Amino acid sequence: MKPKLVFVAAVARNGVIGADARTPWRLKSDLVRFRELTWGRPLLMGRRTFESIGRPLPGRETVALSRDPEFRPEGAHLARSLEEALDRATRLAEAMKAPEIIVAGGAQIYSAFLSRAEVIHLTEVALTVAGDARFPALDPGEWRVTARETPLRAAEDEADFEYLRLERK
């Protein structure tokens, strides 16, 4: 069975997901959720996202996408095109017996794969922040919210937030 293409993203009220190659907030609760959603699955991400994390994440296989001929992601699988990235991630998912491929950013990668995504795990962060990376606009005619959770804010969280699961209609 072909693995689903699933997005995992945290987005501010104004659509910002990043500023200067960093996340403009700290939500420890969301990092725990990210780990739960992505464990045992291949992660597909762009070069800048990979570099911002600084290393492959344990318990997952990472496909880093970049056109930069000098980029060599240590410990990750390199892809030079969207199709190559999806092919590598699909083969990894099959080898891992993972039902999903996780798209983990950044903005260009989300935009490039949005038409193929089947599920989006979205953390809506109750902040309006400046930033240079935005999540692509979602057409409400194409997506429906199938789950919504408002967890209690932990002391290590810098803002309130909600978890949404969206599925393509």
How many CA atoms does the CB half-sphere of 17 hold within 13 Å? 22
Contact 168, 117 (CB under 8 A): yes
Sequence-distant (6+) residues with CB within 8 A of 140 are none
Q: What's the pTM value of the predicted model, to 2 decimals?
A: 0.96
- Give me the residue spans of the domains in the chain: 4-168
The CATH homologous superfamily of the domain defined by 4-168: Dihydrofolate Reductase, subunit A (3.40.430.10)
**pLDDT for residue 106:** 95
Instruction: Tell me which residue of 131, 101, 96 sits closest to 117, measured CA to CA.
Output: 101
pLDDT tens string 84-95 = 999 999 999 999
pLDDT tens string 131-147 = 999 999 999 999 999 99
pLDDT tens string 107-122 = 999 999 999 999 999 9
